[in-house]
Chain A
């Protein structure tokens, strides 16, 4: 699905990532961990094309990400669902329209998707809050809305950056549950988190691999987490 080959990233002031190679196989579940500032978000951005590597190659769906023009990049984003650390909504539109936004911008007829949209809202537990504006939502609700938005186009890959960053334990369990369910439906999942207990909790439910950024390199962490 997504493949990084000897990827390096240099942000101008110094090298953040060096010779990173990883393959996200279809249906796999990966955690990405490491200390703050180690480059987790950067690595995720490289995976969905928001950043271009300064060395090496990134391939997504067998296309070299570096060679994509802006329109092709937009089509790539439709195949990769992203949950951002800070969610990023259009604050003037209610939650339900924010979740439906990917449908809207890809020119789908919203009328046909009404039932799916309701089901999705129900699945993330936001049916009651459908017409609230994003600033009125709690941290957990925002994360679930962002997750719903990332999966509405039924992407093959879902990338989540600290989805449990500012929610309580119970809520993070619920979000993890949703990600695990998506993985069981065959989606490829990549989750960046510094929350080791979340990773431990996940390991009981799903075959997850843990990648760790340390000293600008990516390592496969042991099973002893």
Chain B
């Protein structure tokens, strides 16, 4: 497309626009469809970005954190804990190791036992929170050494339940992307249908224009411009509403679990702004294709 044509398409040629009669109902349908699709796309995008974030977060946080459990008779527990902490301090790749206090352990169990149970009387194992540094530590080597020196220690590096969670988050992100692609495809399909309907409804107008010497490109442009602008306007409205919807979602919190983290963060808020131009691009391509095909079929 030449620069002149592009400029004409964007700025418009008000006189040329008038040759195609205004079509109230189709116009509103196109606006509605592109608005609704953009709205859905915002949510799919939010879901994809949030699940991506979760997957990365879980993968890195859980990979670095581990728990050491000391199952020992009450009288040996303190000594074994001290020995385990000593080993952990010497282990390369362990950034910090800290024995949880009795209150912290009680808080962890409170959801199951309630706060009225005297947990202090129960023979609870001692938990040690282990935080690895970025390089990580050799979990297998650590296990062997603990086995030899602290018989009651069990190292849980979270691998067992980390992998399915990360897999689930990644699958969610994939689904969100597939949804975005489907939304784009559905928009293209619906705009093609609407453009075909408009071209068919205006067959007589097209015939008259051909008769007085209009080029196909001139006729096509009148339709392309309309549908592109409608898709742009509709998508912009849909994106604004969708972003307000996402903005109104509760903040990420520990109580709400992973469901409340669905939203955009920082620069992520700019990504949905790409939806209206992309929608317009889809409409442009769909209408161009429909118009070229239709006009080619006419004599």
* A contact residues vs B (CB 8 Å cutoff): 50-51, 70-71, 74-78, 82, 84, 88-93, 97, 101-102, 104-107, 110, 149, 153
In angstroms, how far is the closest chain A Cβ from the Cβ of B144?
Answer: 81
Residues A88 and B19 in contact in the complex (CB < 8 Å), given A50-B299, A105-B218: no
* Chain B window 31-55, contacts with chain A (Cβ cutoff 8 Å), 1 for yes, 0 for no: 0000000000000000000000000
Interface centre among B19, B212, B214, by most A CB within 10 Å? B212
Range, interface on chain B? 20 to 34
CA distance A88 to B216 in the complex (A): 18
B18 interface neighbour in A71, A93, A106, Cβ under 8 Å: A93
- Contact at B213–A90, with CB atoms within 8 Å? no
CA distance A101 to B218 in the complex (A): 12
* A70 cross-chain contacts in B, Cβ below 8 A: 215-216, 295-296
In angstroms, how far is the closest chain A Cβ from the Cβ of B220?
Answer: 11
* A101 cross-chain contacts in B, Cβ below 8 A: 19, 208-209, 212
* B contact residues vs A (CB 8 Å cutoff): 15-16, 18-19, 21-22, 204-205, 207-218, 295-296, 299
Q: Is the interface of B mostly helix, strand, loop or mixed?
A: helix
Minimal Cβ-Cβ distance residue in B for A110: B15
- Contact at B21–A90, with CB atoms within 8 Å? yes
Return the 6 tightest CB-CB contacts between A and B, nearest first: A105-B214, A78-B213, A77-B213, A92-B21, A102-B212, A74-B215
- Contact at A88–B213, with CB atoms within 8 Å? no
CA distance A30 to B18 in the complex (A): 37
Residues A75 and B213 in contact in the complex (CB < 8 Å), given A93-B18, A97-B18: yes
Minimal Cβ-Cβ distance residue in A for B205: A90
Minimal Cβ-Cβ distance residue in B for A98: B208
- Contact at B15–A105, with CB atoms within 8 Å? no
